[in-house]
Chains A and B, each alone.
Chain A
Amino acid sequence: MGNDLLNMIELRDFNLPTTKNEDWKYTNVAPIMKNNYVLGASLGYENHLSTVLHDFFFQDFDYYKVVFINGIFAGELSDLTGLESGIIVDSLSNFQKNNSELLSRHLNKYSTIDNGFNEINNSLSSNGLVVFVPKGKVVDKPIQVLYLNGDKTENVLSVPKNLIIAEENAQVSIIANYHGIEGKEYLTNIVTEVYAGKNSIVDLYKIQSEEENSYHIEKVQAYQEANSLFNHYNFTFGGSITRNDINTCLNDENIESHFYGLYLAHKKQHVDNHTYVDHAKPNCMSNELYKGILDGESRGVFNGKIMVRRDAQKTNAYQSNKAVLLSKSAVIDTKPQLEIFADDVKCSHGAAVGQLDENSEFYIKSRGIPQDIAKSMLIRAFAADVIEKIKIDELREQINHLVFEHLNRVEVKNN
């Protein structure tokens, strides 16, 4: 056993949240703590150099390719050919070597340590993705980042620390694509900081298809300057326990933020999405649209907080979250939290939970279409307004495919 040589990490050494903590009320992390973990960095990725990674990537469009295995940048497996000079896509450790001054201006400047998971990432992470887009540059293709986690024989802890910097007038689109290696239980614990400079556009897609015996925790913290646009697209398919904290701070005027989410769960999967939109200055707009499809004995949690500070007059903030329960045993807990300290604002939130609509199902079946396809059509219909927000055409149908694959239902495609 290699265990003797590897440094085991006990999560008990960190102050992980319990369900007594209001922000973790519905998410019990005790199952995560029952394992001791080996840090991904100590495993290396040499034995994955011959692994066929092609099928993990979303296909049929051009992209820059980046691979992380258990949180470690795999340069040999990445392909950044053609990247315009000045734009940097690299590992955090390389970036530290070459651009330490720039790094120190941004790293850990936006995200605070909110809980034990953030603390674990902070104290154990030495690696992660850095994307730096200097002033006025537009990255011509999406950057697709494959995070492959887990191990056949070890409980692995991966702790990517990602940093995305888009300077003034910069534009970038990133696809963070999480997959697992079949084997032992593992924990992926990420912190991602996003700096959206003046007039910049940052699109961040996250598609989480980790193994179903894994745990996945991420905190995204964005910081937006004037006239910037940050779009976060959050798709959850895998994982036993998933927790996302998606936060943005709108710290100047005329900023726009969009949070789109679609989460699917079946069996005993648990998916918890917490969002926090902090309107600090006037004339900004935020919009959230989250949808959940829950089957089996799965459980979903949505907690969306909107803060409108006293200065943030003329704020427009919208939030909508809906869930459809495909089984009698699935559960959703949803909580909007609006804290408004300005008086001239437009804010709204709506939540809806239900089953697939019986009348709609009858309509489809009355055309001769069998029940299973009718249900699949309604599932696709439910997810449609989130999926349609994806700007990359080819990605849309592939995400739809994952919806049906994950729910193990007959697929409905448009052709």
Chain B
Amino acid sequence: MLVIKNLKANVEGKEILKGINLEIKAGEVHAIMGPNGSGKSTLANVLAGHGGYEVTDGEIYFEGKELVELAPEDRAREGIFLAFQYPIEIPGISNATFLKTALNEVRKYNGKPEATPKEFMELLREKSGVLGMDPQFISRSVNVGFSGGEKKRNEILQMLMLQPKLALLDETDSGLDIDALKIVSSGVNVFKNNDNAVLLVTHYQRLLDYIVPDYVHVLSKGRIIKSGGKELALELEEKGYDWIKNDELIEENV
């Protein structure tokens, strides 16, 4: 589904990603872990097409299509979704307007008819039910006055509504208490199936207790320095990131 080859990217002239290689297949859950400043969020934003990040080298293929030149809205319509670490507040635009506009744009691009008001409401009821959201939220402005947990839940709701092929979750666990974390995780688990894929970007292991990854990659200084199964996350939790850094140093010295 997603193939990343030797991806290098700059932010404000500074190289953050220094040659990422990664392949994600349908049905898989990958976790990218790493210390602050390692480039985790940069990777998520580059994949979603944020204009503030400049790809300087390498290739990204999504379902066989080259992504780098594609506008963010087209990436979304192709099936990439980024759940933001810090969701944006949009006063004056209701969640209903926002979701309906997004859903219909994605449908239009994929040659499907727009959702009727009835279809939209049914879909919304179903998906917001998964996340235990008060239906009243739909008439409120996007993320305005939402708590940190509500904002993250709203990200997951948007994901469930748009049904992307690849969901990128950028620090979705940050700022969540344990109950909110469980709800958000259950939303992701409902979403997950054999035809889509999830890339979790996280600093901590605790999210991975609820969303179990097939693969864990450790990102450090813009490179993936170690990959493994879900047990790698536990090892990281126990020993910290220094363990790998030291390990890496030793390998390099050999």
Where the two chains meet, the residues of A that have a C-beta atom closer than 8 Å to any C-beta of B are: 357-360, 362-371, 373-374, 377-378, 380-381, 383-385, 387-388, 400, 412-415
Contact = CB atoms under 8 A, between A and B. Distances in A.
14 contacts: A357-B88, A363-B90, A364-B88, A366-B48, A366-B81, A368-B73, A368-B76, A368-B162, A377-B93, A384-B91, A384-B92, A385-B91, A388-B92, A413-B97
Contact of A359 (B75, B88, B105): B88
B240 to A, nearest CB: 31
Contacts of B101: 369, 373, 412
Contact of B97 (A357, A359, A362, A414): A414
Nearest to A357: B88
B124 interface: no
B192 interface: no
Interface string B83-102: 01001101111101110011
Contacts of B75: 366
B158 A367 contact: yes
Contacts of B106: 368
Contacts of A357: 88
A380 B89 CA distance: 12
Which 6 pairs show the lowest CB-CB distances between chains A and B? A384-B92, A368-B76, A367-B102, A363-B88, A384-B91, A368-B106
Given A367-B102, A413-B97, A362 B72 contact: yes
Contact of A381 (B71, B87, B90): B90
A373 to B, nearest CB: 6
Interface of B: 48-52, 71-73, 75-77, 81-82, 84, 87-88, 90-94, 96-98, 101-102, 105-106, 109, 141, 158, 162
B194 to A, nearest CB: 23
Given A366-B48, A374-B73, 7 more contacts: A359-B88, A365-B73, A366-B84, A367-B81, A367-B102, A368-B76, A380-B92
B90 A377 contact: yes
A381 B97 CA distance: 13
Contacts, number: 91
A363 B71 CA distance: 13
B200 to A, nearest CB: 17
Contacts of A370: 73, 105
A358 B49 CA distance: 12
B162 A367 contact: yes
Q: Is the interface of A mostly helix, strand, loop or mixed?
A: helix
Contact of B92 (A359, A367, A381): A381
Contacts of A413: 97
Given A360-B88, A381-B91, A365 B52 contact: no
B109 A358 contact: no
A371 B106 CA distance: 14
B93 A366 contact: no
Contacts of B94: 414
Output the residue of A366, A370, A388, A414 with the most chain B CB within 10 A.
A366
A388 B140 CA distance: 13
A413 B94 CA distance: 9
A381 B72 contact: no
A415 B97 CA distance: 7
Given A366-B48, A367-B102, A368-B109, A383 B77 contact: no
A204 B129 CA distance: 44
B105 A364 contact: no
A283 to B, nearest CB: 31
Contacts of A359: 52, 88
Contacts of B90: 360, 363-364, 377-378, 381
Contacts of B97: 412-415
B82 A366 contact: yes
B93 A368 contact: no
B93 A362 contact: no
A367 B84 CA distance: 11
Contacts of A385: 91
A317 to B, nearest CB: 24
A368 B92 contact: no
Nearest to A359: B88
Given A358-B51, A384-B141, A412 B72 contact: no
Nearest to A380: B92
B99 to A, nearest CB: 8
Nearest to A387: B92
Nearest to A413: B97
B77 A368 contact: yes
A379 to B, nearest CB: 9
Contact of B76 (A366, A383, A412, A415): A366
Nearest to A386: B92
Given A369-B101, A380-B92, A414-B97, A358 B71 contact: no
Nearest to A377: B93
A83 to B, nearest CB: 35
Nearest to A370: B73
Contacts of B76: 365-369
B92 A369 contact: no
Output the residue of A374, A381, A384, A387 with the most chain B CB within 10 A.
A381
B73 A371 contact: yes
A368 B141 contact: no
A378 B141 CA distance: 12
Contacts of A369: 73, 76, 101-102, 105
B176 to A, nearest CB: 19
A387 B82 CA distance: 31
Contacts of B87: 363
A339 to B, nearest CB: 33
Nearest to B141: A384
